[in-house]
Structure 1
Amino acid sequence: MMESTTLCIHEYLSTYTRRCIDRVILLFSLNNQLDVVNNGKHESVGSNLIVINHSDLYQITNAEQLVELTIPVQQFAEIDQSFFHCYYNFKLINSSEYIKYLTLTMIEQLSRLNDTKYSNIIEIITILNKEAKIKQDFIYVPSIQSESNLLNKITVFIKAHVTQPIFSKDISNSFYISAPYISILFKKYLGISFKLYIASLKIATSLAELVHSKETIHAISENMGFNHYPNYTHQFKNHLNMTPNEYRKKFMVLQRIPVKLINEDVSNYIPYFESISVEKPLPSNQVNIELDQLTYKDIAKTPTLFIHIDELMDIVQSTLNTNLNFTDLSESYLMINNVNKLALEKLNFTGLIDFIDSLFSNNVGIAIRVKSSHQFKFIQDIILQYLKYKNEHHYQQSNSNFIMLFDAEHLSLKEINRLYIKVKNLNIRIKLAITVEGVIKQTHSLKSAFDILHRFNFDFYFIDIEQKEVQSLLNKKSNMFNHSMSYFDYYNQLIDSSQIHTSKFVYTKLTKKCFKLYKENTPLETADLMCHILIMLNRGSGVGYELMPKDNMDIALMNRHGICEPLIYLYQIVKPFIGKPLSIHENYIVFKDFQYIHILLFNSLKHRFSPQEVHKFVLGPHVLPTKAMLFIQTLNREHGFIDYALPPLLNETYIERTLLRHIEQANTPKAEIKQFIRTANPLEFELHYDELKYIRISPL
């Protein structure tokens, strides 16, 4: 007989790292205390529902009042024959509260010694299949997202060779590291030995062939890279407490095995059962936008963008500068982090002046990081020389397009004070900024650091909150901060504590690590990007991006071939909304401008669409013009996401410039113009998974 579906409430639970084999586990905490490591990635789940897939590597690091629902793979495979070619992305689940309701209802019924409806399990599986299932063309093998890039690369190698014999010497030869160091990496970052990682993964992967083919056990063991059939059988029994042949026979016998409650007494949790009032959610693939009932009270603030580059001359001396037209990106600055090459005697000064002038003409400023008094002198000379050659800018006071960022990690507070006074005495309008983490390091308390920052009154305050040492520094300086906080929690708490206006703060460099729902090795989805944009429009603060990615976690405006990433298009699309009174909702934004109606439709993080869903947005006809022109822009994987047209794997590959030009021309949001004539029928728009639409309705 196969294992039963089991339910359990753990008052406290922490586990060692283990492989989830032959089951899918659903976890949630009744008091919002749940921290797990799933496939190497730390997740502070809180009150959310998390799914541990078959083959996932997981560890529960801390949990209180944890509800655990374990469902055997057989129950999933009975409903969906393609189960082994899928996995469940718990971040896509919209009906998590209803799943909790079904789960707690079963616990309550079983605690009273009543039978529970097995249909509840079927319904949970059906919800997961509808909302969270991600189909693949190959058997699901999890991707590891540990804090070690080297280990992540090793696990990618293992994933690619999972059906072959894999030994530590293979890893050593491919990555030029010793066998002992391999063991250290796996133990340190995954909490599991190299051998156990390989063996458990092979056993988990072998189940698909075991139950869906008629191959002999001996053949399957060879197909999975086991050199000896007895070794496969031994490892199989270690993980599943039965032989492969016994498992195959039991899997083929479909049985409705009763759900088991592990707890003998759940009386302490009765208040939770009594509070159950969640009704079954109705399917909602339609959103009605009642234009005549909207209120326009939200104002979209202007964010300030800092585009990181290392060397200005790398751009001045390349053909890339012809593409640097960021006129649609609200207020933006080119952020130069390394000025070592800015010694005047080494520059083509005329070219530099013309380049700076072209940036200013496109409303793009220049921010330069200052790490020493020597560098300050270089930068000061460049600015003064520029003003000398481009005198009209001085009179127009547009030299405020220059920002000096004093790096307090390298400059003492005394030096910064001297340079600050020196700039002010120049009597020219240059904006000044400072790195907050450097000031905090040089002071004995956060209050002292904030007092100094207020006294200087800089134009911008940069904080590199994604650096671990910065988080540790804040944890050490104040109990307002702790390791369970997200990057944005740290950032927002720092702003609130400093009492400095949010528009003056800059999130030094945003990476994909900031996005809780990001899945490694895939582009950020439109829902993630839109969530970030909404935060920027709400706060009006600053943020830094890379111009081009240097790391796979970087968020950049262009790929390494100089072709626009979707973030640029998204800023272009939201530009009409900036500074306007808006009506902001979960899946759409609306504002009216004279006779025009502007609408932005998107997937929200709170209600993500599954890949199988299509949502319909309906506008009642009675408030629309009799005749109108519809301008529609669509941003999706086919239109505007360069990573799907030109995968990052080809970043280091030479591609003919003519081909790149064709790809660049094709990599833009889809634009359409349609004529609308009002009838009794509503105006409808469809929005697919990972898609965003901008609509402008103009009367004719």
Structure 2
Amino acid sequence: MPNSYLRILSNVEYPTTRCQDGIILFWPLESDMHVQKFRKQMTINNDIYIINNADVFSVNTKGRMIMLYLTSDWFTEQGFSFFEFQYTSNLIKSSNLLKDLILQLALKRINYDNQEMLDQLTREIVQIIGTEAVVDKDIAVNQYNYTYYDDLKEELDYIDNHIETRLTLKDISTDLFISKSNISSQFHQLIGMGFKRYVDTLKISKSIEMLLTTSATISHISDTLGFSNMSTFSKMFKGYLGVTPNDYRKLSKYDKNVMFKVNIETDEDIETFKTYVEDLVEQHNIEKYEDIQLDVGKPNKIKPFHSIIQIQSIEEIRFLFLYDKFEKYDFSRNDVIFYIVPTLTEICDVMTYDDKRKIAELIIEKGLRVAFNIDNYRVIDHLGICFNDAVLKLKNAKKTITHEYEVISVFNLDEKEIREVYRDIIKFQDLHINHVIALDMTCLLDDPVLLKSIELQIKRLKFEYLFIDNAKLKTSYLIDENERLLLKNEIQLKNLKAILNEIDFVKEKMILLNVENHQLINDKDNDLSNSAPLIIETISTLRETFAGLGFNLYDHTQLFNTLHLFDKNGFKTTFGLIFNELTWLFNQEYVDASYYKKVELEDRYVLCLYDWRIIENEATNENYEDSHVYVSFDQTPPNKSYFIFIGKINRYSGNLNHLIAKDLRNKYDWTSAFLDTIDYYFKPMVEEIEHDFTEKSLDINLSYNSFYMITIFKNESKIKRAWHNSI
């Protein structure tokens, strides 16, 4: 086995280079490993990180790490179309097995075991990566210009799109209106590689793919990649790789090298190496654990989180509050705010006084929190009269009011200046209703200079909530051209966070309205509203920045494409099915992991478990095999048997598209009775079991794009039939 194939290195710093004809696995064993890929910098600790073919990267670490270079030949020999995909360790479920195999490979390499033994271990490693880590190349490449290119996006995009021409600094300078010296210094300073080397190595990468996947002549490859002649191409190729293109075509996988030299390799002798790796193998066996341990993990501190249900029209107001539909929806009261989009003037002009008073009665009696858009100070008195009359009517009817209601008055800076808002707020002081004030500050996000100038005035008024309407921003989430971004990139809110970080507002007050209903990149018939894992990922990520998120009650195709609880025909979405459970979950202390959230209560554990693979590639029709996740205790469980309630959503259960096809839903007008019938059958799959954790772990068969809500009761005497906190 050649030295470059697998190495254990210490105190390593690699200069910037490009990975060619394969992938590189890095596993830092002792300390942080710092990686720069294109323009993005990352820190990796005791995790495997994959450098993809053609990636430009640099690496440094002060401790030992394992490096494994796998050429494309290893994948091709096992039937994988290597160059059609990219690979991410985020997708790998068998990470413990992968680490085991790498450690075994390292130990056997030190022991100089026979080549067949080493090859077998390598094939097993390749099998895991080729089946579990793959992402379609077209999708992956599309994400690079956002995730990794950053402030060099324009220049790097230009090179990618013109790589088959003769590229010079003058060409890119002329077309992009950037000076040659500026471009040259940017490449050296920001990437760590000169412009010429960047272009040369990218052309080499393209040529290697053609050499290994086609029968094209060297002359044809040279012409295709914009070289003046075959001799120039061959000379450049040999200058970087040490062999001519023809000779490279004939190389075996054992004779290929990574395109860089190790600056500092450990000076420890082979016996020290051997002892170290043997200790690693033993320690890794000791540290092996089941995927999820119920009694392990530090929960996050509770942060208040508000689910905002946006009511977009007068008809929706009537439907929800006047047509006896509210009880049917069974929304959680404490953490839900109903945001009425029509202005208070529009409501007063269209609705009768009796209807408005009845709505006020429902708000008071049910203890609801409702936000009204205040567009005119003249309607403020009218609001107070409605609520005072409603209170009087409820008292006369001897109705018991058990919940505290809240009226939220929202003022919009796009409609009035801050001093006018102050005048209207004073008028509210004479109203005897449970009332707080809020501000829609969306327009300021498009004008950061103005936002900074009136920041102090806004803080003095002590608004209870600060709303930002994603639908009204110049670009949703302030990301340009986001229609082809994976959701995990889109919800990073990169530019929006940069603006918010410049102001000193209390984060617990900021609410994002109109969370975008992201269309799945790999499945045009499905969207975020019908993928439970993507919904959880969205809410989990956005709540790091916001104290609340706004969703539509119904889909409005003519408006902004907002995440919704019901489609335009009245059918409940997957999001609508799990809305209450997620609202409850995100208001708890929970252990937060990459594919589960775990809550421990006095009488139960609640485990929210979901498939992570759809987050990486957004296709609901992928033929992924089911993955087994094991649930156990770290310490000996106090009870012998546990009663467990399992609710599951997958492509069959809790999936509206499986119950009734989208084209069929859009074809007819459906009666309320029929929608109620569909709603009755639109449920997750439910299973109730008893399990003994002292005998074995609980095996959960996690299918692609699936979601589980699992309740494990600690004490049989406390088991209840009301599953308020479980599906």
Can you list the C-alpha shifts for 1:447-488, whole angstroms capped at 9, x where unaligned? x836852x323222346799799999xxxxxxxxxxxx9659
Shift in Å, 1:618: 3.9
Shift in Å, 1:344: 4.3
Moved more, 413-422 or 77-86: 77-86
Can you list the C-alpha shifts for 1:404-428, whole angstroms capped at 9, x where unaligned? 2233455433222222212223333
Paired with 1:380 and 1:602, the residues of 2 have a C-alpha distance of 46
Paired with 2:99 and 2:289, the residues of 1 have a C-alpha distance of 22
3-state SS in 2 of match to 1:573: helix
3-state SS in 2 of match to 1:623: coil
Whether the 8 Å CA contact 1:6–1:70 is kept in 2: the answer is yes
Q: CA 1:530/1:464 → structure 2, altered by over 3 Å: closer, same or farther?
A: same
Which one of 355, 364, 370 corresponds to residue 366 of structure 1? 370
Whether the 8 Å CA contact 1:300–1:538 is kept in 2: the answer is no
Q: Which residue of 1 aligns with 2:76?
A: 77
Can you list the C-alpha shifts for 1:286-340, whole angstroms capped at 9, x where unaligned? 35757xx78999886652112346x423745889998776534452223345649
3-state SS in 1 of match to 2:337: strand
Shift in Å, 1:661: 5.6
Q: CA 1:398/1:546 → structure 2, altered by over 3 Å: closer, same or farther?
A: same
Q: Which residue of 2 aligns with 1:671?
A: 685
Which one of 639, 653, 660 corresponds to residue 623 of structure 1? 639
Q: Which residue of 2 aligns with 1:693?
A: 708
1:589 aligned partner, one-letter code: K
Shift in Å, 1:51: 3.3
Shift in Å, 1:433: 1.3
Q: CA 1:504/1:600 → structure 2, altered by over 3 Å: closer, same or farther?
A: same
Which one of 399, 404, 419 corresponds to residue 424 of structure 2? 419
Q: CA 1:677/1:246 → structure 2, altered by over 3 Å: closer, same or farther?
A: closer
Unaligned runs of 5+ in 1: 149-166, 168-179, 211-215, 473-484
Shift in Å, 1:104: 12
Q: Which residue of 2 aligns with 1:459?
A: 464
Q: CA 1:574/1:244 → structure 2, altered by over 3 Å: closer, same or farther?
A: same
Paired with 1:104 and 1:115, the residues of 2 have a C-alpha distance of 14
3-state SS in 2 of match to 1:342: helix
Can you list the C-alpha shifts for 1:219-269, whole angstroms capped at 9, x where unaligned? xx9xxxx9xxx999999999999999977765xx56465778613545899
Alignment of 1:554-593 (within 5 A): 555-559=563-567, 562-573=570-581, 587=596, 589=598, 591=600
Alignment of 1:201-350 (within 5 A): 210=214, 255=254, 262-265=261-264, 279=281, 281-282=284-285, 286=290, 303-308=305-310, 311-313=312-314, 315-316=316-317, 326-330=329-333, 331-337=335-341, 339=343, 342=346, 344-345=348-349, 347-349=350-352
Whether the 8 Å CA contact 1:315–1:321 is kept in 2: the answer is no
Check if 1:91 corresponds to 2:94. no
1:304 aligned partner, one-letter code: H
Paired with 1:14 and 1:137, the residues of 2 have a C-alpha distance of 25
Q: Which residue of 1 aligns with 2:155?
A: none
Q: Which residue of 2 aligns with 1:156?
A: none
Q: Which residue of 2 aligns with 1:600?
A: 607
1:670 aligned partner, one-letter code: P
Q: Which residue of 1 aligns with 2:436?
A: 431
Paired with 1:518 and 1:45, the residues of 2 have a C-alpha distance of 28
Paired with 1:114 and 1:259, the residues of 2 have a C-alpha distance of 23
Check if 1:542 corresponds to 2:548. yes
Whether the 8 Å CA contact 2:368–2:405 is kept in 1: the answer is no
Paired with 2:114 and 2:362, the residues of 1 have a C-alpha distance of 67
Whether the 8 Å CA contact 1:305–1:542 is kept in 2: the answer is yes
TM-score in terms of structure 1 length:
0.60
Can you list the C-alpha shifts for 1:363-399, whole angstroms capped at 9, x where unaligned? 65432455xxxx2347636634643774558876989
Unaligned runs of 5+ in 2: 147-163, 165-171, 178-182, 184-190, 396-400, 479-490, 617-623, 714-718, 722-727
Check if 1:376 corresponds to 2:364. no
Paired with 2:97 and 2:692, the residues of 1 have a C-alpha distance of 40
Paired with 1:233 and 1:136, the residues of 2 have a C-alpha distance of 36
1:421 aligned partner, one-letter code: I
Q: CA 1:678/1:121 → structure 2, altered by over 3 Å: closer, same or farther?
A: closer
Whether the 8 Å CA contact 1:342–1:378 is kept in 2: the answer is no
Q: CA 1:661/1:134 → structure 2, altered by over 3 Å: closer, same or farther?
A: farther
Q: CA 1:505/1:82 → structure 2, altered by over 3 Å: closer, same or farther?
A: same
Matched-pair identity in %: 14
Check if 1:23 corresponds to 2:58. no
Q: CA 1:121/1:302 → structure 2, altered by over 3 Å: closer, same or farther?
A: farther
Whether the 8 Å CA contact 1:369–1:405 is kept in 2: the answer is yes
Q: Which residue of 1 aligns with 2:153?
A: none
Which one of 684, 692, 698 corresponds to residue 698 of structure 2? 684
Shift in Å, 1:585: 8.1
Paired with 2:468 and 2:114, the residues of 1 have a C-alpha distance of 53
Paired with 2:657 and 2:49, the residues of 1 have a C-alpha distance of 28
Whether the 8 Å CA contact 1:641–1:667 is kept in 2: the answer is no
Paired with 2:693 and 2:261, the residues of 1 have a C-alpha distance of 61
1:89 aligned partner, one-letter code: T
Paired with 2:647 and 2:701, the residues of 1 have a C-alpha distance of 12
Whether the 8 Å CA contact 1:432–1:459 is kept in 2: the answer is yes
Whether the 8 Å CA contact 2:388–2:433 is kept in 1: the answer is no
Alignment of 1:378-397 (within 5 A): 380=380, 383-384=383-384, 386-387=386-387, 390-392=390-392
Which one of 649, 654, 660 corresponds to residue 640 of structure 1? 654
1:632 aligned partner, one-letter code: I
Paired with 2:571 and 2:100, the residues of 1 have a C-alpha distance of 47
Paired with 1:231 and 1:75, the residues of 2 have a C-alpha distance of 32
Paired with 2:461 and 2:561, the residues of 1 have a C-alpha distance of 34
Q: Which residue of 1 aligns with 2:187?
A: none
Shift in Å, 1:208: 8.6
Q: CA 1:581/1:266 → structure 2, altered by over 3 Å: closer, same or farther?
A: closer
Q: Which residue of 1 aligns with 2:154?
A: none
CA RMSD of aligned residues (A): 7.3
Paired with 2:561 and 2:36, the residues of 1 have a C-alpha distance of 23
Moved more, 72-81 or 687-696: 687-696
Paired with 2:343 and 2:142, the residues of 1 have a C-alpha distance of 37
Q: Which residue of 2 aligns with 1:480?
A: none
TM-score in terms of structure 2 length:
0.58
